[in-house]
Amino acid sequence: MCGIAGQLRRATRVDPELIERMCQAIEHRGPDARGTFVSDGVGLGIQRLRVIDVENGDQPIFNEDRSVVVVLNGEIYNFRELRERLIKAGHRFRTDSDTEVIVHLYEDSGFRCVEQLHGMFAFALWDARSQQLMLARDRVGKKPLFYSLRDGIFTFASELQGLLQDPEIPRDIDHQALDCYYTYQYIPAPLSAFKAIRKLAPATVMTVRDGAVRQERYWRLTYEPKLEVTDAHELHERVLYTIERAVRRRMVADVPLGAFLSGGIDSSAVVAAMARNSSTPVKTFSIGFEHSKFNELPHARAVAQQFATEHHEFIVEPSAIAILPKIVRHYGEPFADSSAIPSFYLAELTRRHVTVALNGDGGDESFAGYSRYAANMLARRSDQWPLTLRQVIATAADWIPSSAEPQSTRSRAKRLGRSLALSPAQRYAQYVSYFDHAERNALYTPEYKELIGESLAPAVVDRAWRSASGSSRIDVMLETDVETYLPGDLLVKMDIATMAHSLEARSPLLDPDVMELAAAIPPELKLRGIEKKVVLRDALSAWLPRDVLDRPKMGFGVPIAAWFRNELRTYVQDVLTDPRARHRGYFQPRYVDRLLARHFAGSEDSSLKIWALLMSELWHRQYIDDVPSPVTDSVMSCI
């Protein structure tokens, strides 16, 4: 696990000092070693976290005649099988690392080599003979890659703060991207917060040659055809076998490893599989809160006891807000998933003991674990009603009083009713939006609406929805999340939180074999009424007790609603009503004041909206008001 950076210039030599600065800015991703390669118009840099072939696997890594060089962020889980095959074909290896298989595969297959790689990765490969730079990301987008192309100069890095070390890259804000952020809490690829910078999409290969850029998608998860299930027990055995094999692949490391454990289904399944394949106690790590509604520690503790793990815990308190400057710096652009806070603390705790941690990410998107799937299937029944009737119900729903509890019957009824008059794609977009279209229209000033221009936010969900391969509404929702929410939010959150602490996170449930099997399972076996993850729960009954499998999903929520009404009330109000925030001219002051007042009074829960505005303002202060530079976390913690 590492951080990579580099530049390609057509007319002039790459500045070695720029490559050094870019590496320094992302040193947290790989503090064990730095490697650089500069030759004529190309420069590559790598910050390495040593996990595989600790002694000899430092990068960059070359082929036999040094005409091909690569830097890799990530892990190739099938590197041993690939290495054996390549050696038989005549290739000579100088290391035992997973990175080296890439240069030899490229010699044989060109950019199609990515189709043979089984892992999480973002890499850059320079072919001196063809004078071509190749970049690629893994299938689901576990590893990030940002790039900028201007005036024939191509620059890339694993994180924005690395890319921004290049003073030639303009810092102009992309307000259409920020509009997407206020909608979904993250900025979806290919957009970034800066007009001059873009993100390489998951499952994509990019080649740069003579100033020309070409992109091609090499993989897509498909939901057809479906398995013919005649024996439920046989299907359950196949699910368990595929998960266990994915876990075994991710237990290969030359450094200590453990697992995040929430006590929920997904992380518990991973720990169960690890325990089945480990001769020593698995190290497990959990985070909790004083608020019982958000505290899963008792559940995690029970699973840890069942599998006799070496268990570690940490309690997150309101004072955790002190970590915000560090979070803002590491994400590099506005990011409003509040579970980034416990993720950062969990990564810090875990890194004290291990270098690699497995987690349960991806289970909800493959096996239908979110309540919104059930809610949308319920709303689907109304699609046959006359539009005028659905519009009347939607109008009436607006008059339902707001509730301070988002999951209350009143809140659910209000959301469901307001969505009935929408198209299926619009309805789903509303369920995953922080500020929907009407709310953004009320939030933005006329000047900011003009600055944004045409909103790109509706197309984020609509494009994924329309291109979905499945015929079932359930499959369409799952595929939409795999294309949008999973790579744009969840994977970004975990990658940044863990790499900020030089910790490698591996996600067995995001193994392509697991995802492809889940996609092929008939949707009615995943979601049945309001019962979610049906097939996964039934399969895991062979490993886990029913009290783990049957308890309600808690998620990785944070008690920010209570914090904002109590310990953090003054802080939030001071930041969002500060003259600096008001003078940006983005938001209607009355709307923001009313949002805060209603939340403070307990008449509604606006915590997620407030959090999105808060993180946006803190990002502007750090990245726009002050030009960022590589600084240590100890300095940042004093801000």
Return the percentage of the chain with pLDDT > 90, whole number.
78
Looking at the structure, tell me whether residues 149 and 253 fall in a common domain.
no
Q: Is the pLDDT of residue 632 over 50?
A: no
> Can you give the pLDDT at residue 547?
87
The encoded tokens of residue 463 equal: 């494009």
Q: What is the CATH number of the domain that holds 84?
A: 3.60.20.10
Cα-Cα-Cα-Cα dihedral sign, residues 139, 145, 150, 153: negative
* 227 part of a folded domain: no
> Can you give the pLDDT at residue 626?
72
Among the residues of 521-588, which ranges form H helices? 534-540, 546-550, 560-565, 569-576, 579-582
* 129 part of a folded domain: yes
Report the alpha-carbon distance of residue 265 to residue 284 in Å, rounded.
15
Q: For residue 601, report the phi and psi dihedrals to the nearest 5 degrees.
A: -75, -15
Q: For residue 155, report the phi and psi dihedrals to the nearest 5 degrees.
A: -125, 145
Residues 535 and 367: beta-carbon distance below 8 Å: yes
pTM (2 d.p.) = 0.93
Report the alpha-carbon distance of residue 484 to residue 468 in Å, rounded.
12
Instruction: Write b or e for each residue in 214-232: b if 16 or more Cβ atoms lie within 10 A of its Cβ, otherwise e.
Output: eeeebeebebeebeeeeee
* 391 part of a folded domain: yes
Q: Is the pLDDT of residue 265 over 70?
A: yes
Looking at the structure, tell me whether residues 212 and 239 fall in a common domain.
no
Q: Is the pLDDT of residue 178 over 90?
A: yes
Q: What is the DSSP letter of 508?
A: G
- 184, 217, 250: which is the final residue of a domain? 217
Looking at the structure, tell me whether residues 528 and 424 fall in a common domain.
no
Looking at the structure, tell me whether residues 606 and 503 fall in a common domain.
no
- Residue 103: HSE in the Cβ half-sphere, 13 Å Cα cutoff: 26
> Can you give the pLDDT at residue 628?
47
Looking at the structure, tell me whether residues 101 and 181 fall in a common domain.
yes
Q: What is the DSSP letter of 70?
A: E
Please give the tally of structural domains in the chain: 4
Q: What is the DSSP letter of 444?
A: B
> Can you give the pLDDT at residue 638?
25
The encoded tokens of residue 621 equal: 């202060």
Cα-Cα-Cα-Cα dihedral sign, residues 1, 347, 373, 400: negative
Sheet strands side by side (includes 153-157): 33-39, 42-48, 2-9, 153-157, 146-150, 198-199
Looking at the structure, tell me whether residues 31 and 97 fall in a common domain.
yes
* 627 part of a folded domain: yes
**Residue 590 class from Cβ within 10 Å (0-12 exposed, 13-18 middle, 19+ buried)?**
exposed
Report the alpha-carbon distance of residue 595 to residue 443 in Å, rounded.
10
Report the alpha-carbon distance of residue 367 to residue 518 in Å, rounded.
6
Report the alpha-carbon distance of residue 573 to residue 583 in Å, rounded.
16
> Can you give the pLDDT at residue 532?
96
Query: Pick from 217, 211, 215: which is nearest to 198 by CA?
Result: 215
Residues 216 and 113: beta-carbon distance below 8 Å: no
The encoded tokens of residue 138 equal: 């893994």
* 98 part of a folded domain: yes
Report the range of poorest mean pLDDT among 4-8, 164-168, 412-416: 412-416
Looking at the structure, tell me whether residues 40 and 186 fall in a common domain.
yes
Report the alpha-carbon distance of residue 403 to residue 68 in Å, rounded.
60
Band the pLDDT of 575: cuts 50, 70, 90. Answer: very high
- Residue 443: HSE in the Cβ half-sphere, 13 Å Cα cutoff: 18
Looking at the structure, tell me whether residues 340 and 299 fall in a common domain.
yes
Looking at the structure, tell me whether residues 577 and 611 fall in a common domain.
yes
**How many other CB atoms are there within 10 angstroms of residue 130's CB atom?**
13
Q: For residue 491, report the phi and psi dihedrals to the nearest 5 degrees.
A: -75, -35
> Can you give the pLDDT at residue 382?
79
Quick one: the chain helix, strand, coil %, rounded to 5? 45, 15, 35
Residues 350 and 343: beta-carbon distance below 8 Å: no
Parallel, antiparallel or unpaired: strands 68-76 and 33-39 = unpaired
Q: What pLDDT, in 10s, does the model give residues 599-620?
A: 999 989 999 999 999 999 999 9
Q: What pLDDT, in 10s, does the model give residues 467-492?
A: 999 999 999 999 999 999 999 999 99
Report the alpha-carbon distance of residue 175 to residue 195 in Å, rounded.
8
> Can you give the pLDDT at residue 639?
25
* 149 part of a folded domain: yes
Report the range of poorest mean pLDDT among 55-64, 196-205, 441-450: 55-64
> Can you give the pLDDT at residue 408?
58
Structural element, H or E, at residue 357 = strand 356-358
Q: For residue 316, report the phi and psi dihedrals to the nearest 5 degrees.
A: -95, 130
Looking at the structure, tell me whether residues 333 and 319 fall in a common domain.
yes
The encoded tokens of residue 422 equal: 């929408």
Report the alpha-carbon distance of residue 384 to residue 26 in Å, rounded.
53
The mean pLDDT value of the chain amounts to 91
Within 8 A by CB and 6+ apart from 228, the residues are none
Looking at the structure, tell me whether residues 421 and 453 fall in a common domain.
yes
- 217, 243, 258: which is the final residue of a domain? 217
**Residue 279 class from Cβ within 10 Å (0-12 exposed, 13-18 middle, 19+ buried)?**
exposed
Q: Which amino acid is at 551?
A: R
Q: How far is CA 526 from the centre of its chain?
A: 23
Q: What pLDDT, in 10s, does the model give residues 290-331?
A: 665 666 788 899 999 999 999 999 887 767 678 899 999 999
Does the annotation mark 113 as catalytic? no
Q: What is the CATH number of the domain that holds 501?
A: 3.40.50.620
> Can you give the pLDDT at residue 559?
82
Per the structure, the complete domain to which residue 150 belongs is given by 2-217
Strand, helix or coil at 346?
A: helix
Residue range 567-589: mean pLDDT, rounded:
95
**How many other CB atoms are there within 10 angstroms of residue 453's CB atom?**
10
Report the alpha-carbon distance of residue 572 to residue 569 in Å, rounded.
5
Strand, helix or coil at 359?
A: coil
* 226 part of a folded domain: no
* 317 part of a folded domain: yes
- 518, 550, 582: which is the final residue of a domain? 550
Looking at the structure, tell me whether residues 49 and 193 fall in a common domain.
yes
Report the alpha-carbon distance of residue 453 to residue 470 in Å, rounded.
33
Residues 532 and 373: beta-carbon distance below 8 Å: yes
* Cα dihedral 407/411/416/418 (nearest 10): -150
Band the pLDDT of 409: cuts 50, 70, 90. Answer: low
Q: What pLDDT, in 10s, does the model give residues 349-403?
A: 999 999 999 999 999 999 999 999 998 998 888 777 877 777 777 677 776 766 6
**Strand-pair partners of 357:** 258, 505
Query: Pick from 78, 74, 72, 104: which is nearest to 89 by CA?
Result: 104
Q: Which amino acid is at 201?
A: A
